[in-house]
């Protein structure tokens, strides 16, 4: 016959061994589940970051696009005519120019980060905006001093030329921005 002590010992060892094996596999399974959940959460965070980065880029490119359109409109030949016809006050004219320059500065900043291929166009637009402003300002001064129109023709011609250059540069820059979107 079998000794009850040995039976009890074998039963106890079997229970301990069974519990150990079950615990080992349970821990291993839980560890794999935790790793899988961690990978899923990491993937979600990366996707959220990519989505957020894309939103920031899209918003920045929108600012650049709007600044280009605004420069094209605000530094147009028809705008020059309306400024001269209205005999715009020099202080008001300067405020208008500096407001437009601020928008272009912001656009140049975002282009530097997100659309480097249009930086040259934006620098050229900014330069032409300055030429437009300086020449039109001179024409306004001449007009306020009641000087003959002939003394302003060269200034107005330079402003118009800068305006046409801005329009050409803006058209190319807008097309490049669309490629980035």
Residue 10 and residue 23: Cα distance in Å, rounded? 19
For residue range 37-85, list pLDDT tens digits in order: 666 677 766 767 778 888 999 999 999 999 999 999 999 999 999 999 9
Residue 146 belongs to a domain: yes
Residue 38 belongs to a domain: no
Residue 11 belongs to a domain: no
For residue range 122-164, list pLDDT tens digits in order: 999 999 999 999 999 999 999 999 999 889 999 999 999 999 9
Residue 10 belongs to a domain: no
Residue 9 belongs to a domain: no
Residue 69 belongs to a domain: yes
Nearest alpha-carbon partner for 126 in 157, 165, 161: 165
Total domains present in the chain: 1
Residue 45 belongs to a domain: no
Looking at residue 62, its pLDDT comes to 94
For residue range 7-25, list pLDDT tens digits in order: 666 777 677 677 676 777 7
Residue 98 belongs to a domain: yes
For residue 73, give its domain range. Answer: 53-180
Kindly report the CATH number assigned to the domain that includes residue 110: 1.20.120
């Amino acid at each position: 016959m079998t000794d009850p002590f040995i039976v009890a010992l074998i039963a106890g060892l079997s229970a301990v061994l069974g519990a150990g094996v079950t615990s080992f596999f349970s821990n291993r399974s839980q560890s794999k589940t935790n790793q899988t959940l961690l990978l899923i959460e990491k993937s979600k965070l990366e996707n959220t970051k990519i989505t957020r980065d894309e939103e920031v880029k899209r918003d920045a490119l929108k600012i650049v696009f709007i600044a280009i359109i605004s420069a094209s409109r605000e530094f147009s030949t028809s705008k020059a005519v309306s400024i001269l016809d209205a005999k715009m006050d020099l202080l008001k004219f300067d405020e208008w120019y500096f407001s437009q320059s601020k928008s272009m500065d912001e656009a140049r900043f975002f282009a530097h980060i997100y659309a480097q291929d249009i930086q040259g166009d934006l620098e050229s637009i900014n330069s032409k905006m300055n030429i437009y402003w300086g020449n039109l300002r001179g024409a306004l001064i001449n007009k306020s001093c009641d000087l003959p129109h002939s003394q302003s023709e060269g200034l107005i011609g330079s402003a118009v030329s800068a305006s046409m250059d801005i329009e050409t540069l803006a058209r190319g820059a807008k097309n490049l921005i669309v490629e980035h979107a």
